[in-house]
Structure 1
């Protein structure tokens, strides 16, 4: 886990100090769906801290997609025009992103998926985590806490993004095991804490005393729901609340007993994808990121695999202080 990078508004070259790059230094672009929230800032900061970047062996530029599929496509067009050697892609939309991938593939530029998925067979490889699994894990926690009975709400991510689709699949898998639980509200808050707070305020008014569980498909939205509960003068302890990502405020909320969270290692996803991208440009390259040692169940395998799955880490009272220490 790496300290969050300051939010970037367009494209920011991530350079190691004042290193001057040679003409043959690989130039790799990272097109991410948006940098407003901490999780993707952590993901982007991991690229800055990749050993190959710090040693000047590769030049990386991060493009802020501003949560807009068209913006991301335009950024692909820019990278193609400027002769980037490889692209790492974190798409906002599982379907719309395929057009951007095809544009790069038509020019022979390898594209590596990371964190969120795109419905394309043109990706060279993908490094991420199983969102169906995390959706099941968080929903099961909430359902276990309420004894598999009562009413819950689901706060979804951006409709059409793979994480929203797959986490909902996991949510529904857990809910199928508890037929006495009713989902009384379900709506997107676009990964936004503020939007989730507004939704939850409305739902608490519409269903007074009726909501037992809150399933937030990411931590930011779960935290927004907690703020709504507090603003309504209610006790957070009267609700079972869960999120996903392990952002700093969520770690603190877990420590306080307000919610549950599952750590998604965005740093490992980013650095793993960058190792693969460099390998595609320089076939003799050996991975420099420490993440391959950190996750022995995800072997490098010569960079030849089509998919690399970074494990989830449930945040507990036993590990939360150590995770917080890594954010210092």
Structure 2
């Protein structure tokens, strides 16, 4: 009995040591999206959770819902620092306020990789996202081209102070400058929200009626809200030029129905690319496990040390919309 007990003790000790070694080898990464209410950030987050390094157990990924609040995100960074996370992937709600959180992590020796939205900090290990100025230009141009560069538009903005709102706004202005005869009747934030955009558009239709010829919405959710308001007012959606950004599922269907234009933002590539870069910052000999680097040969891995990785946009067209929808199944 005594020998058996000793053998069992040795076995338990070996198992414990093996478990400790495994836990030590596991890389703890915190994923910090600005909020998870809408489909785009859900797709971005789901893609991160499906990264091969996560599903294989190399990475333990913890998701923190920022709830569209910069202070909440800062508190979450403090939690990750206290709990000894190895790296953080950060999509901030505010371009300025997010810098404080990055500073805290940097001071604690934790690398931070930005993704999707930007932060005004030079302490990021890298940034994996897309050019929002280009997106803002492309969506506004789609609206203005349909209008023939004449008439009046309304602009529905993202959360004020977030990088996507700022940069897509710059792109919107660039396109509008090319059409000096176009008037901007209203410009206001709907905070990426379909419901808020619907309410705004209802008010604007009451104030301006058929004078509104175009709707430049800085994301698809808000464009879809504007469409709902137009329908609720008994007006014909085809009488308006409407565009958004992201390529969420309902927007793809609306493009297919001829109701709006959209530009697909590949959140999956952004999130998985950011996970690869974050692992590299912790494990110098790491080679990327995501397929996105072969999917976008114009965005080479370059050893995972580039300061910025720019995922291309994909304009949604009648020719590619079915394939894009099929990819969501």
The reply to whether TM is greater than 0.5 is yes
1:141 & 1:208 partners in 2: Cα distance? 22
Q: Which digits, 9 at most, give the CA deviation of each residue in 1:53-110, with x for residues without a partner?
A: 1111111111000000000000000000000000000000000000000000001110
After superposition, where does 1:176-215 map in structure 2 within 5 Å?
A: 176-215=177-216
After superposition, where does 1:100-249 map in structure 2 within 5 Å?
A: 100-249=101-250
Contact 2:94 2:119 in 1 (8 A): yes
Q: CA deviation at 1:22?
A: 2.4
Classify the secondary structure of the residue corresponding to 2:25. coil
Q: CA deviation at 1:21?
A: 5.9
1:130 & 1:251 partners in 2: Cα distance? 21
Note if 1:91 corresponds to 2:92. Answer: yes
TM score, norm. by length of structure 1: 0.93
Contact 2:262 2:316 in 1 (8 A): yes
Alpha-carbon RMSD across the aligned residues, in angstroms, is 0.9
Q: Which digits, 9 at most, give the CA deviation of each residue in 1:276-295, with x for residues without a partner?
A: 00011111110000000000
2:49 & 2:132 partners in 1: Cα distance? 25
Classify the secondary structure of the residue corresponding to 2:210. coil
Q: Which residue does the alignment assign to 1:23?
A: 24
Classify the secondary structure of the residue corresponding to 2:30. strand
Q: Which digits, 9 at most, give the CA deviation of each residue in 1:12-33, with x for residues without a partner?
A: xxxxxxxx96232010001110
Q: Structure 1 segments of 4 or more deviating over 4 A?
A: none
2:119 & 2:186 partners in 1: Cα distance? 28
Q: Which digits, 9 at most, give the CA deviation of each residue in 1:224-264, with x for residues without a partner?
A: 00000000000000000000000000000000000000000
Q: Name whichever structure is richer in helix by fraction.
A: 2
Classify the secondary structure of the residue corresponding to 1:272. helix
Unaligned ranges ≥5, structure 1: 1-19
Q: Which residue does the alignment assign to 2:40?
A: 39
Unaligned ranges ≥5, structure 2: 1-20
Q: Which residue does the alignment assign to 2:6?
A: none
TM score, norm. by length of structure 2: 0.93
Which segment is superposed worse, 55-64 or 75-84? 55-64
Note if 1:48 corresponds to 2:49. Answer: yes
Q: Which residue does the alignment assign to 2:321?
A: 320
Q: CA deviation at 1:48?
A: 1.4
Q: Which residue does the alignment assign to 1:291?
A: 292
Classify the secondary structure of the residue corresponding to 1:184. strand
Aligned length: 309
**Higher Cα Rg, which structure:** 2
